[in-house]
Amino acid sequence: MSSSAPPESTLYQKREPIFPRRVKGSFRTMKWWLLAAMLGVYYITPWIRWDRGPEMPDQAVLLDLASRRFFFFMIEIWPHEFYFVAGLLIMAGIGLFLFTSALGRVWCGYACPQTVWTDLFILVERWIEGDRNARVRLHHQKWNAEKVRKYGLKWVVWLLIGLATGGAWVFYFTDAPTLLQNLLNFSAPPVAYLTILFLTLTTFLFGGFFREQICIYACPWPRIQAAMMDEATLTIGYRDWRGEPRGKHRKGDDADQMGDCIDCMACVNVCPMGIDIRDGQQLACITCGLCIDACNDVMDRIGKPRDLIGYLALSDEVAERQGGTPISVWKHIFRPRTMVYTVIWGGIGIGLIAALFLRTDIDMSISPIRNPTYVVMSDGAVRNAYDIRLRNMHGAPRQFFLSVSDNPSVRLTVEGQSGLLVTVNPDEQLSQRVYLTAPSGTPPATGNQTPVRIWASVTGDTDRINSDTIFNGRAQ
Amino acid sequence: MKEDVATTGHSWDGIEEYDNPMPRWWLWTFYACIIWAVGYMFLFPAWPMIKSATPGLLGYSTRADVADEIAEFEARNDVWFQQLNQTELTEIAANTDLQRFATQAGGSVFRAQCSQCHGSGAAGVQASGYPNLLDDEWLWGGTIDDIHQTITYGIRNEEHMDARYSQMPAFGQDGLLAEEEIDQVVEYVLQMSGQQHDADLAQAGFEVYDLNCVACHGPDGGGDPFVGAPALNNAVWLYGGDAESIRETIYYSRWGVMPGFVNRLRPAEIRAVAAYVHQLGGGE
């Protein structure tokens, strides 16, 4: 070791703050509309009412975790129908593959919550502190009354947005108006407050302070996306064969030798990720299109054609360099790879819709009791016991008539009662012990295993369901 | 950049090691952990002593937590147990919630106290003479009151006067019957229960049965739950229904013993077990 003081650590590197400049253009407009639509859906959905009858909250979209039911307008999902949720998750995954293979990171640039809330937070920041130059100045300014006032106001607004975010989330899980009332008079369950607190803080920190660092360091998706994209994928690129050599076009420059890029840094200044798209494709790019808007604006002003920066595919680059024209956007979007994804995606979707219409709102499952497998009665008859689980996914109580088919010698009895009717309350399931008895000497009683089918038919309705099980005889 | 960082001075095959300082956030976390640990040491049980450990200023103890939880659940169950004590045994089934509690509580007591002999599924063990509680033959009656009485005081339980008690003579061992008389009565019992038998021997066996067995087992072999005599004219056998087993029963007699639970379980727990056994499917 040398005796001199060690150099300062470079492992601890401070973040370079980014101050995206305001931009106008078609992508920016589309992003504003998408932001409004997505936040609108998120904040309003729990407040849509839907008549669910007495004893149930009249909420259109409700994730009732306590009683394990998911309500989505007229659709009601029970735990055993979780394949609907699994199917939707698979569709979401394949949908992400589809969009990424066609259009690159459109999810990141337009729909990811991190992007949406960061956009909103930057909007607030601009309203309070002004555009890029004013914000840079304020950032480097020493703390004074103006800075305290502006930063304080900004943080308060961010916290309010965070509060609304966390607040909206909890309303999906219980009756929204009741919960709001309880939240306001401090009688809501602690988990509601904790959830709101957690989401308020994460929204505040992620949208206000971490911003692009989440996308670059925390999010796994940029690492996965490379596998979803190929050379025909549309992504944002800089046409360097048109732009280079770049320069300010000062007097004395030979204009014919210069490219279209005037090195105005507009594309860099508007980028929320703080990158220079002219360096080529890079991990940090979320393909939000703001650099396209900024550059097109400049191109219009200096009288050059648009799309120096634009959506292009690597496969187009070769042709364009030789003076050709790019293939149309639609040909990039509709190609075999995306068609395969679309077919799988749509197939699952059609399957789910079909399952939704084909499902019954009654269900039965049978568990034979195997301890012991059979009991011999005093008259020599052999009896098996079964636990039958009956589900009534219907808003009214239902009476099930239980019977056994195909084996005339086997008799069904219901534990604890003389009849064969079992009533199940609305939206509930009931476990009922039943017995099957085969008289002495009959084939099921003397045989080993006899298949039997148990039926449950709803009284006053045509609905009936059956389930197959096994009757154990004495020959074991 | 990297070149500014000193190395540790070590070199392995030309590979050197940078002497980088910790990231600042890492150090802060480390210092916070030390402060936390010191506080924890005083607030919670930490230092091992010879027989115990320092109790900690907060007085926290996992044992006390468990005891509290057990007490909490017992307090919640007590309401139900009281209701169980105050309800007629025959009325329990009419109260759905009470019946559910009784069968759940009784089931757990059964698995702890009764399953050693009667099996976790209550099917008994025939070879050892532990009765099957699922079928419809009851030595001492299968009403819930009968079952309750049996559980409370037991069978041939010397410790309690109210225990059910019956005694079948050992006809062979004690010389009450001759070998050939036993052979005859075995065939007669086989005939009564509808099994393969020797008709001539069975005919002779009727005389033997009529003189020696009818008092308890009845003229038609229907048994008598009042004295705990099993029915012989059906398919359920406690010790086996083949000729060999029946012969052994007559020769040596059988004495099943069951402990009384009056001093082992609380009254409400006995009532719960009675309700559980009664609803197993064989209750009368």
Q: Is the model's pLDDT at B1 over the cut of 50?
A: no
Residues A212 and A271 in one domain: no
Instruction: State the Cα torsion A53-A57-A58-A62 to the nearest 10°.
Output: -120
Query: Which residues on chain B are in Cβ contact (under 8 Å) with A372?
Result: 119, 121, 123, 134
Rounded Cα distance, B50 and B44, in Å? 17
Q: Is residue A95 part of a domain?
A: no
Rounded Cα distance, A414 and A436, in Å? 9
Residue A302 one-letter amino acid:
I
Q: What is the pLDDT along chain A (476 residues), one digit of tens a residue?
A: 344 554 454 555 567 788 999 999 999 999 999 999 999 999 999 999 988 877 788 899 999 988 888 999 888 888 888 899 999 999 999 999 999 999 888 899 999 999 999 999 999 999 999 999 999 999 998 999 999 999 999 999 999 999 998 889 999 999 999 999 999 999 999 999 999 999 999 999 999 998 888 888 888 888 888 788 888 888 899 998 888 888 877 666 666 678 889 999 999 999 999 999 999 888 889 999 999 999 999 999 988 889 899 988 888 888 888 887 777 888 888 889 999 999 999 999 999 999 988 888 888 999 999 989 999 999 999 999 999 999 988 878 899 999 998 788 999 999 888 889 999 988 888 999 999 999 999 999 999 999 999 999 998 877 889 999 999 999 86
Contacts 24+ apart (CB under 8 A), A334-338: A335/A232, A337/A101, A337/A230, A337/A232, A338/A98, A338/A101, A338/A102
Torsion sign (Cα): A120, A123, A129, A133: positive
Residue appearing with tokens 């931009």: A23
Locate A451 and state its tokens: 């298949």
Which residue in A375, A380, A433 is closest to B132 by CB distance?
A375
Contact A371 B120 (CB under 8 A): yes
Residues A210 and A249 in one domain: no
Residue A124 one-letter amino acid:
V
Residues A202 and A271 in one domain: no
**Which of B112, B129, B152 lies closest to B274, judged by CA?**
B152
Torsion sign (Cα): A247, A250, A252, A255: positive
| pLDDT value of position A396 | 83
Q: Is residue A447 part of a domain?
A: yes
Residue of B3, B5, B92 best to disrupt the A interface, most CBs of A under 10 A? B5
Q: Is residue A174 part of a domain?
A: yes
Contact B279 A9 (CB under 8 A): no
- Please return the burial class of B260, using the count of CB atoms within 10 Å of its CB with bins 0-12, 13-18 and 19+: buried
Question: Min CA distance, B26 vs chain A (Å)?
Answer: 10
Q: Is residue A353 part of a domain?
A: no
Rounded Cα distance, A332 and B79, in Å? 72
pLDDT in tens, B138-158: 999 999 999 999 999 999 999
CB contact at 8 A, B220 and B233: yes
Give the nearest chain B residue to A385 (CA atoms).
B281
Q: Which domain holds residue A443?
A: 362-472
Asked which of A298, A322, A337 is the last residue of a domain, the reply is A337
Residues A180 and A73 in one domain: yes
Q: Is the model's pLDDT at B31 over the cut of 60?
A: yes
Contact B6 A9 (CB under 8 A): no
Rounded Cα distance, A239 and A325, in Å? 13
Residues A180 and A47 in one domain: yes
Residues A186 and A308 in one domain: no
First to last CA, chain A: 83
Residues A252 and A326 in one domain: yes
Q: Is residue A351 part of a domain?
A: no
Which residue in A6, A10, A415 is closest to B281 by CB distance?
A415
Contact A372 B235 (CB under 8 A): no
Give the nearest chain B residue to A415 (CA atoms).
B281
Asked which of A169, A197, A223 is the last residue of a domain, the reply is A223
Query: Which residues on chain B are in Cβ contact (under 8 Å) with A380?
Result: 194, 234-235
Answering whether pTM is above 0.90, one says no
Q: Is residue A406 part of a domain?
A: yes
Q: How many inter-chain contacts (A to B, CB under 8 Å) are there?
A: 75
Q: Is residue A348 part of a domain?
A: no
Residue appearing with tokens 């293979």: A101
CB contact at 8 A, B193 and B230: no
Residues A162 and A125 in one domain: yes
**Which of B154, B77, B146, B104 lies closest to B276, judged by CA?**
B104
Residues A77 and A113 in one domain: yes
| CATH number for the domain harbouring residue A444 | 2.60.40.10
Contact B119 A11 (CB under 8 A): no
Residues A200 and A256 in one domain: no
Asked which of A159, A193, A223 is the last residue of a domain, the reply is A223
Residues A218 and A242 in one domain: no
Residues A260 and A373 in one domain: no
Predicted ipTM of the assembly: 0.81
Contact B2 A385 (CB under 8 A): no
Q: Is residue A236 part of a domain?
A: yes
Overall domain count for chain A: 3
